[in-house]
Amino acid sequence: MTPLPLDFEQPLLELEKCLDDLISRTPEDTHRISVMQEKLELMRVDLYKNLTPWQRVQIARHPSRPYALDYLERCFTDFVELHGDRCFGDDKAMPAGIARIGKYRCVIIMQQKGRNVKENVLRNFGSPHPEGYRKALRLMRLAEKFSLPVITFIDTPGAYPGIGAEERHIAESIAVNLREMMLLKVPIISVILGEGGSGGALGIGVSDKSLMLENAYYSVISPEGCAAILWKHRKHAPEAAAALKLTAQDLTDLKLIDGIVPEPLGGAHHNASMAATAVRHAIIEALEELEKKSLPDLLEERYAKFRKMGIFSE
C-alpha cells in the first residue's frame, strides 16, 4: 500500500504519474523513459534531502508512520505487557512491559498512537494521563530492582490537557519522573519515534542516550500552539516550526540529543522494516556502550549531560 501523500509530495506524484503514462503509452521509447526516471529520482532525493522543519513535522505525524508497537514487534522478542499504575488505572497511551532485544533483557515503556478512530479512542491519540507516567515510574523501579536497562519510545503530541488529568495532577506525575529518572540506577535509552511533544515527551525522556529518528521532532510547544500565541493564528505553524528549531539536526546542534537514527528516503512509513532495523541497531549499540560504564560514571554523566543544557550570558 502506498502511503497517503503529503501536500509537498504532490509534484513528485505528478511526475510519477507522467512516467506511468509514458510507460503504458510508449513502452518502446526506452530513452525517454530512462530520462524521466532519472529526473524523478533526482527530484525525490532533492525533495527529501531538503525537507523544511514543517515538512518533517508532517512526516512525523504521518498516519502511516510506524508507531511504537510496530517497532516493538520488529525489534524485540518475549514482550510481556505489564499494565497499570497500581493506583488508579491503566493508561493505554503508554503501554509498557518487559522484553528482550538481542541478548539484552529490558524494560520497555512506549507512547502509542492509534491508526484509526477506534484505536485512537483506546490510545487517546498518544496523549498520556498521569497514570501513564506513574506506570512508567513503577516499571523503572522494577527495572532497577532487577538491573534491567530501560528503553523508552517517545511519540506523543503532549501529555493530555484534560480535566481528569489535571485533577490527578499530570504535572506532578511528569515532574516526579524527571527527578527519579535522573537517579535511576540502570541505563536509560530514549528514542523519539515521531512527535516529542514537550513535557509529555520529557516525562519518559530523561536518559543516558537520547536518540531521535531523522524526521521526528522534539519541541517545547507544538508549532500550532506557538503560532497561535506568537503569530495569533495557527496557520503560521510552518514559520513557528522553523523558529522553534525542533528537528533532529537542530537538537543535535544545540547538544540536546545524542544521536539521529536514519530513516528510509521519504520517511519511516516508506519502509517500516528498514526503519525498525535502524532503530534496533541504534538501541543495541547504545546498550553495548552503556553496559561498559560503572554505575557512578553512568549517573554522573547523565547528570552532567542535562546540567550543561542552557545557553545564557554572564
Partner 1 sequence: MTIFRRPSLKFGAKRKREIPEGLWKKCPQCSEMIHHLALEENLNVCPKCEHHFSLSAKERISTIVDEGSFIEMDSEMSSVDPLEFQGVAAYKERLETYQKKTGLIEAVRTGNAMIGGYPVGLAVMDFQFLAASLGSVVGEKITRIIEESTAARQPIIIISASGGARMYEGALSLMQMAKTSGALARHSEARLPFISILTHPTMGGVTASFAVLGDVILAEPKSMIGFAGPRVIREIAHQDLPEGFQTAEFLLEHGLIDEIVPRAQMRNILITILSLLVEK
Rule CB under 8 A: is residue 144 a binding residue for partner 1? no
Nearer to partner 1, 99 or 212 (CB): 212
Q: What is d(CA 112, CA 128) in angstroms, rounded to the nearest whole number?
A: 9
- Which of 5, 183, 235, 291 is in the footprint of partner 1 by CB under 8 A? 183
Please, which of residues 29-58 interact with partner 1 by CB under 8 A?
none
* Residue in the block written with cell 523503572: 140
Q: Which stretch binds partner 1 (CB under 8 A): 56-64, 78-86, 104-112, 161-169?
A: 161-169
Q: What is the pattern of x (binds partner 1, CB under 8 A) and - over residues 217-236?
A: -xxxx----x--xxxx----
Extract the C-alpha cell encoding 310: 542552557
Q: How far apart are CA 197 and CA 184, in angstroms?
A: 23
Q: Which residue has the cell 491508526?
A: 115
Cβ at position 244, least distance to partner 1 in Å: 5
Give the span between the Cα atoms of 213 and 193, in whole angstroms.
6
Residues 248-307 that bind partner 1 (CB under 8 A): 250-251, 254, 256, 303, 306-307
State yes or no: residue 179 binds partner 1 (CB under 8 A).
yes
Q: Smallest distance from the beta carbon of 74 to partner 1, in angstroms?
A: 28
Q: How far is CA 173 from CA 132, 136, 207, 238, in A?
A: 9, 10, 17, 31
Surface-to-core class of residue 256, CB atoms within 10 Å of its CB (0-12 exposed, 13-18 middle, 19+ buried) = middle
Contact 204, 151 (CB under 8 A): no
Which range of residues in 74-82, 86-94, 246-254, 268-276 is near partner 1 by CB under 8 A? 246-254
Shortest Å distance, C-beta 313 to partner 1? 5
- Kindly state the cell numbers that stand for 148: 534491567
For residue 189, give the amino acid letter. Answer: I
| DSSP 8-state class, residue 105 | E
In 10 A of CB 277, how many CB atoms? 14
- Of 76 and 217, the one with the shorter C-beta distance to partner 1 is 217
Select 143 or 246, whichever has its Cβ closest to partner 1. 246
Instruction: Decide: is 311 part of the binding site for partner 1 (CB under 8 A).
Output: yes
Q: Which residues bind partner 1 (CB under 8 A)?
A: 159, 161-163, 165-172, 174-176, 178-180, 182-183, 198-199, 202-203, 205-206, 218-221, 226, 229-232, 239-240, 242-246, 250-251, 254, 256, 303, 306-307, 309-314
